Amino acid sequence: MKISILRGLVFGLLPALLAWPITAPWAGENTAVPATTPTDDFVLDDNNGTAYHKKTGLTWKRCHEGWDWNGSTCVDNSGMADYYTWLAALQRGPANDGFAGFSDWRLPNSKELRSIVEQRNWQPAINATVFPNTPTGPHPQFIFWSASPALGPDHAWSVYFLSGDVVALGKSDSYAVRLVRGGQYASLSVARAGSGNGVVTSDLPGIDCDPYCQGSYAEAMRVVLTATPDASSTFGDWTNCPSASGNRCAVTMSADASVIANFTANTITAITSDSPDPSVVGEAVTVNFTVTAVAGVGTPTGDVTVSDGAVSCMGTVAAGTCNLAFTSAGAKTLTATYGGDANFNGSSDIEDHTVNKANTTTTITSDDPDPSAVGGVVAVNYTVAVVAPGAGTPTGNVTVSDGTDSCTGTLPATSCHLIFTSPGAKTLTATYAGDTNFNTSTSAGAPHKVLARTAQGDAGGGTVTAAITGGTCIGFATGTPSFIAAPTPLPPGITFPYGVFGFTATFCGQNGTVTLTLTYPNPLPAGTQYWKYGPTADNATPHWYVLPATITGDTATFTIADGGLGDDTPGAPDGVIVDQGGPGVPGGGAGDAMGIPTLSVWGLLLFSGLLGLLGFRRPRRHA
């Protein structure tokens, strides 16, 4: 027994001494501790000396046995014993039949007696306003019997009102007695669980957890618990709550009950790096992040999603990283969002990030045909590629140009058609104009040859126009068209008033052909034939021969096959056709061809001589 009392003294006195206030309404009051039996919880009857405990529904004698109520306080009744054995204490109930008009007074059980312990007081641990002159010592004055037997036949539970402890003592010992009547008592216990922190309070006094996590209430009383998380947590839900609504739990006491309030710890998500920054469109960016609990216990698990609203990546909390590639340039705001798990709340963090345009390379892959002819269509193919580490699909226009003529294609098209307006050696470049996500680029120069299909010249008789009007040859070899006087000796009785036209038609293809149309300043006379000067299959020495042609008005049209009649390499087709020739006018000279009477050089000399003779003879005629 002495060991139990000593233990109660040590553990009961130590917390109160450590928190002892400078002043107190009664001895041993610690106002820093919430009252568990405030006076407002009781209905005090000063007429009959009873106190009705609204919280438990019990009615108590305000004075312990051996003391009487005088209308304002408890006074010692010297004719009565103050202390009783346990069996004698049980008899004090029937002995008080008729007190305050009731005949059901009894010794309280240990839970009922414990319900009037005031946790903020000591020596005695009781509300002295409700229960005045409760003994304060010395031992055994502050020990009160309960009706609850302890383990073993020789002990019963008592309440140690020096500190409020419950102690098992021998039934043969004598201690104080306080009687009760009325409702049945039940205990409500509250526990807190989860990774977070918070407090649970009751609308009726008794529970302010932590540290006061158990209260005693009369059966049928309705107790409403409220769970309030601290700043590092949120309230999750209730366990074993018969009627829950959000953070409130209503319990109607019918028996001992136990309720659990579950709190979930908040987390902090932080983006620790996003590299590289700035990045370029399509480049992989590694985003590192952390998720930590603000308070509480445990380690967050689950996934974190990083996004700018358009692209995203996901990584586990344990991995702490994920990779994403932006599909557009500009200023971005990265948001890392942790969705939470069963024990931890979600959280997020933001981080600014810059995405620049990716570089590109533009390449001309082909220009067909090459060479081409003036006025002909050339299909130019190109590619636009993104330079690593960038990636993606460029859009927009690509312009192909030689500096004068150009064509434009729009991606994803990879070609455009160019028409050259002048012959010569060209250098083609393709320029990608860029778009909102990709930078412009220009290809290296691509050589291209453009051949003429027409030529003009004057060999003395006026301007002659030559044009390739058919066949397979692309055009005239550069520098080859010529308009010159006809080679001598001329065919007998034939004159060439417009000289001859020489050319080399190239890129004809093996066994190709060329059709030429020559247009002269005046209609060609009847009987005009087109004469060719060059070798033939039967005579390798250049000589004059007639080339079949269609002569109509002022035009002559003929076709020459590669290696055939009219080509300077008869019988040896080589993809090139070489020719020189012109319209030969029989008999007269150029006069008929040009439509103007003309004389040859010998004719002019003879005509001058005749004039001279006529002039010489005229003076003699007058003589």
- Residue 32 in this model has a pLDDT that exceeds 70: yes
CB 257 within 8 A of CB 231: no
pLDDT value, residue 619: 40
Give the largest Cα separation in the chain, rounded. 211
- Residue 312 in this model has a pLDDT that exceeds 70: yes
**Residue in the structure block whose two tokens are 């029937």:** 94
Collapse the DSSP code of 584 into the 3-class scheme (helix H, G, I; strand E, B; otherwise coil) and give the result: strand
Q: Mean pLDDT in the chain?
A: 87
Bond from prior residue into 542 cis (ω within 30 degrees of 0): no
Average the pLDDT over 314-334 and give the result. Answer: 96
The H-or-E segment that residue 448 falls in is: strand 446-451
- Residue 193 in this model has a pLDDT that exceeds 70: yes
CB 361 within 8 A of CB 376: no
pLDDT value, residue 622: 35
Q: What's the rounded Cα separation, in Å, for the pair 214 and 53? A: 17
- Residue 243 in this model has a pLDDT that exceeds 90: yes
Average the pLDDT over 40-46 and give the result. Answer: 93
CB 195 within 8 A of CB 296: yes
DSSP sequence for 432-458: E---SSB--EEPPPEEEEEEBSEEEEE
pLDDT value, residue 463: 97
Q: What's the rounded Cα separation, in Å, for the pair 555 and 549? A: 10
Q: Give whole-number Cα distances, 360 to 106, 381, 383, 384, 538, in Å.
A: 97, 17, 10, 7, 62
User: In one letter, which amino acid is 61?
Assistant: K
Q: What's the rounded Cα separation, in Å, for the pair 111 and 258? A: 15
Residues 6 or more apart whose Cβ sits within 8 Å of residue 606 = none
Report residue 207 as tokens. 């529970």
CB 270 within 8 A of CB 262: no
Kindly report which listed range (16-20, 123-127, 511-515) carries the lowest average pLDDT score.
Answer: 16-20
Cα angle value 102/104/109 (rounded, 5°): 135
pTM of the model: 0.60
pLDDT value, residue 586: 93
- Residue 306 in this model has a pLDDT that exceeds 90: yes
Count Cβ neighbours within 10 Å for each residue of 379-399 and write b for 16 or more, e otherwise.
ebbbbbebeebbbbebeeebb
Q: Tell me the residue ranges of DSSP E strands in 317-359.
A: 321-325, 330-338, 347-356
Q: What's the rounded Cα separation, in Å, for the pair 487 and 581? A: 9
pLDDT value, residue 522: 95
- List phi, psi (to 5°) of 112: -65, -45
Residue 502 β-bridge partners: 482, 580
DSSP 528: -
CB 171 within 8 A of CB 87: yes
Cα angle value 413/419/421 (rounded, 5°): 155
- Residue 618 in this model has a pLDDT that exceeds 60: no
- Residue 301 in this model has a pLDDT that exceeds 80: yes
Residues 6 or more apart whose Cβ sits within 8 Å of residue 442 = 362, 429, 430, 431, 432
pLDDT value, residue 185: 62
- Residue 81 in this model has a pLDDT that exceeds 50: yes
**How confident is residue 5, by pLDDT bands cut at 50, 70 and 90?**
very low
pLDDT value, residue 4: 42
**How confident is residue 408, by pLDDT bands cut at 50, 70 and 90?**
very high
pLDDT value, residue 471: 95
Q: What's the rounded Cα separation, in Å, for the pair 128 and 125? A: 9
Average the pLDDT over 52-56 and give the result. Answer: 89
Residues 6 or more apart whose Cβ sits within 8 Å of residue 21 = 29, 30, 31, 32
pLDDT value, residue 27: 59
Classify burial at 229, counting beta carbons within 10 Å of its beta carbon; exposed 0-12, middle 13-18, buried 19 or more: buried
Bond from prior residue into 394 cis (ω within 30 degrees of 0): no
Average the pLDDT over 214-237 and give the result. Answer: 85
- Residue 313 in this model has a pLDDT that exceeds 80: yes
Q: Can you list the domains of the chain with their CATH numbers?
A: 2-182 (no CATH), 185-265 (2.60.40), 267-356 (2.60.40.10), 360-451 (2.60.40.10), 454-594 (no CATH)
- 453-497 per-position pLDDT tens digit: 999 999 999 999 999 999 999 999 988 899 999 999 999 999 999
Q: What's the rounded Cα separation, in Å, for the pair 466 and 261? A: 104
**How confident is residue 150, by pLDDT bands cut at 50, 70 and 90?**
confident
**How confident is residue 277, by pLDDT bands cut at 50, 70 and 90?**
very high
Average the pLDDT over 138-146 and give the result. Answer: 85
pLDDT value, residue 543: 95
Q: What's the rounded Cα separation, in Å, for the pair 418 and 403? A: 12
Bond from prior residue into 371 cis (ω within 30 degrees of 0): yes
Average the pLDDT over 351-372 and give the result. Answer: 97
Alpha-helix runs per DSSP H in 19-68: none
- Residue 137 in this model has a pLDDT that exceeds 80: no
